[in-house]
Amino acid sequence: MPMMSTETALPVTVTARAAKQAAKIVAAEGKPMMLRLSVSGGGCSGFQYNFELDDKQTDDDLVIEEGGVKVLIDSTSLEFLKGSEIDYVDDLIGAAFKVNNPNATSSCGCGSSFSM
């Protein structure tokens, strides 16, 4: 009989590669910090992703713990991000966190903004 997981699937996932890079960034700060992902209006496609370090967690934050780092997403931004995966890419264009968002109908070339 297959084992059933009692864990609830998170609405947003973080890859091991993204968690490792976030942990490096947080460690360099020298004090407890968390990575916050939010969505705001703007960018060339209508909405844009914002990554920043934060030392405060709010009551409405989704908290994702992966690889020793916490990623925070506020409830408003979460509505745009459900089903997404946070990754970290290092390619010829540059190194950056990337959101693989199944809700986005289009995105800009650099991947930092999207439309729905």
Query: Which pLDDT score is estimated for 46?
Result: 78
Query: Which pLDDT score is estimated for 79?
Result: 93
pLDDT along the chain (116 residues), means of 10: 52 96 93 94 79 95 94 95 94 87 71 52
Query: Residue 49 falls within a domain, yes or no?
Result: yes
Query: Residue 26 falls within a domain, yes or no?
Result: yes
Query: Which pLDDT score is estimated for 8?
Result: 57
Query: Which pLDDT score is estimated for 45?
Result: 64
Query: Residue 3 falls within a domain, yes or no?
Result: no
The domain containing residue 85 runs over which residues?
Answer: 13-115
> The domain spanning residue 18 has which CATH number?
2.60.300.12
Query: Residue 62 falls within a domain, yes or no?
Result: yes
80-89: b (≥16 Cβ within 10 Å) or e: bbeebebbbb
Query: Residue 55 falls within a domain, yes or no?
Result: yes
CB 88 within 8 A of CB 17: yes
How many domains are there within the chain? 1
Query: Residue 68 falls within a domain, yes or no?
Result: yes
Query: Residue 5 falls within a domain, yes or no?
Result: no
